[in-house]
Amino acid sequence: MPAYTLDIVAFTLFVVAWLLYEQILKRLKTGNHVNSNMRVLRGAWMRNMANRDNRIMDGQLLGNALNSASFFASSNLLLIAAVAGVLFGGQGTWREIQGLEVLASTPRWMFEAKLALVLITLARGLLDFIWSIRQLNYCLAAVGAAPLPGHPQGKAWGDASAGLLNPALSAFNAGVRGYYFALSAAAWLLGPIPLIIAVIGSVWLLIWRQTSSAASRAIVSLRDMVEARGDEPPQISE
């Protein structure tokens, strides 16, 4: 077992990063990241939707988001099928894989454990996409049932609709993030050191895109403008 100490360390790092990423992100820059800023923008969008006569554009935008989630879910399912095919391929598949030099010294149980980690990561991403699709359908119903412009319930309806939209797109983001961690898990096939490097690299890239990329800076500016016009939504937990 001591021969696999580094594998245990790498696996533990992966699990911690995978399961606690969102908590880590929330503690950076006092929560000023793409996800938190987009919640503000979506809240403004839903309130504007509730005060519009023509909501065709809102339905189209939500439909595009729904199509994106469906595409990623379908792609995810194909990847799950491919990985499961190798994992449950039996002795014949194992004999073929043993011909790869990088896996020549890997025992079968370890190889299967590594593939299982990739499979579990992809499966969790698929569940996130499915939950996103369901919530987006709920949001479409909320847009369709929105009161006419000028109705006293307009602002409250917009806030409640944002309470559907934000978790839906947060689940979508979690599904996309699953691809990063699935790639990191796949790096374990090359050894524990590649897994450690892949996990650290993936987390760094995700956090950089959330807090320091050009897109994140632009979204901060948009949030500032939304708040300057007094249109900041109530904080809705997800």
Tokens 């369901």 appear where? Answer: 134
> Can you give the pLDDT at residue 237?
47
Band (217; pLDDT cuts 50, 70, 90):
very high
Band (180; pLDDT cuts 50, 70, 90):
very high
Would you call 232 helix, strand, or coil by DSSP? coil
Would you call 119 helix, strand, or coil by DSSP? helix
Q: pLDDT at residue 224 above 70?
A: yes
Listed in sequence order, the residues at least 6 apart from 107 whose beta carbon sits closer than 8 Å to its beta carbon are: none
Most confident of 57-61, 123-127, 143-147: 123-127
User: What's the rounded mean pLDDT across residues 127-136?
Assistant: 97
More confident residue, 50 or 232: 50
More confident residue, 174 or 24: 174
Per domain, the residue ranges of the chain are 2-228
- Say if residue 98 is exposed, middle or buried (CB neighbours under 10 Å; 0-12, 13-18, 19+): middle
Specify the pTM.
Answer: 0.88
Listed in sequence order, the residues at least 6 apart from 168 whose beta carbon sits closer than 8 Å to its beta carbon are: 65, 131, 132, 135, 136, 138, 139
